[in-house]
Amino acid sequence: MDVDLAFRALHERQARRHLLLLFDFDGTLCPFSPDPEAVYLTPAVSRLLGSLACKPASTVGIISGRRLPDLHKRARVAREIYLAGFHGLEIEAPGAAFMHPDAAAATPLMRAIADSMQSCLPALPGVFIEDKVFSIALHYREAAEDIRIAARDRFLAAAKTDLEAGRLRALPGACVIELLPGVAWNKGRALEWIRERVEEIHGPTFSVYIGDDVTDEDAFRAVGPHGMTIAASDRAAGAEFRVDGPESVRRLMQLIDRGTP
């Protein structure tokens, strides 16, 4: 789907509503890297986010699977924006903050699963466990296909009892599976939390969410009829428009920043 087409639709449909622009981070604002530690906003994207955030007619935010302290390090923006980490379980807003009361409930379970996987990792080249304190993620982007299958099977088998009991939930993504607390909260609920606060200040919003993976589909569903959903890859289903990766997202941001079709 063409960037210009998405922008023209946004420009025509926004009317006089306040623009709420929300983005995923990895794969949307930044290209993927086999090493999660290597991912940072480029200066150009950081400047665009800051420019959009300082406009009185728009509010900007990022909703990521990364923890908030990690986002702070990687998403440096010179203006105040909304930041939601841990798939929305923690949110930092101008003058407000939110942490889901059950965010830490399953930490001992996940620590035990991570420990049980450590002995397997030497036999699974290209696979590693990322410890996010309140969640754990199995990454296998650099692994061969047979190793990927074996790693996923072992990881899910280690979590099987807790997944079936609802104490944990598994969230698949692009070459990653993350184990999260089994609570009814996701990026869509985070979007609603942010939108409610923005509308208290600015009135009705035209909400735009841009994401690239299955983890963003809850946010697509939460946008509703008074907004627009944009997939930044073909990994994510359910979006109205599609653009091709972070570079296309950057070009769309430039058009929105300029404000004319």
Catalytic residues: 24
Dihedral pair phi/psi, residue 105, rounded to 5°: -60, -35
Residue-wise DSSP of the chain: --HHHHHHHHHHH-TTSEEEEEE-SBTTTB---SSGGG----HHHHHHHHHHHTSTTEEEEEE-SS-HHHHHHH---SS--EEEEGGGTEEEETTEEEE-TTTTTTHHHHHHHHHHHHTTGGGSTT-EEEE-SS-EEEE-TTS-HHHHHHHHHHHHHHHHHHHHTTSEEEEEETTEEEEEES-S--HHHHHHHHHHHHHHHH-SEEEEEEE-SGGGHHHHHHH-SSEEEEESSTT--S-SEE--HHHHHHHHHHHHHHT--
Structure-block tokens of residue 56? 């009185």
Q: Are the C-beta atoms of 158 and 114 separated by less than 8 Å?
A: no
